[in-house]
Amino acid sequence: MPDRVTEAILRHLEHNGRLSNAELAEKVGLSPSACLRRVRMLEQQGTIQGYRAVIARQKSTVVATIIVQITLEKQTEECLRRFESRIKECADVKECYLMTGDADYLLRVEARDMQDYERIHKEELSRMPGVVRIQSNFAIRPVVQQGKCS
């Protein structure tokens, strides 16, 4: 269980991953060297898995975010493993979650346009092992993006 300082480090880095170590140390009340040791430890433990840039949607080639629900023919360990192994190879799938409820998986897919999504649907998603149903929902615009820096 993380202590308050670790929670503060994670919260600040989640909000702004570009904080300098000195700025972060000041915000969480540690010396720069102690703060750096904590951050390195969190990276080595896998708590901090990386840093990323959040690209403005209108400035990138990606113009469509599609939320896709996938239903598999069976929910056996083997069927789930085969699907998960293949979905990890699909570069257009940015996130994939194993779900409870009606669908087995929820995906966040990014595409350049409708034709690009049609390609992803036909050549990638519909060919995934065990898939019996694909339901696609196009996002109009983001309302909340927690990982976005202000």
Q: How many domains, the chain? A: 2
CA gap 97, 66 in Å, rounded = 14
116 lies in a domain? Answer: yes
| 19/82 same-domain check | no
pTM (predicted TM-score): 0.64
User: How far is residue 93 from each of residues 72, 97, 105, 107, measured CA to CA in Å?
Assistant: 17, 11, 12, 7
| 115/79 same-domain check | yes
Report the sign of the C-alpha dihedral through residues 99, 105, 111, 117, in that order: negative
88-126 pLDDT per residue, tens: 999 999 999 999 999 999 999 999 889 999 999 999 999
> Which residue range forms the structural domain that includes residue 78?
64-138
CA gap 115, 44 in Å, rounded = 41
52-99 pLDDT per residue, tens: 766 665 555 667 899 999 999 999 999 999 999 999 999 999 999 999
| 40/71 same-domain check | no
| 32/84 same-domain check | no
Assign residue 38 the CATH number of its domain.
1.10.10.10
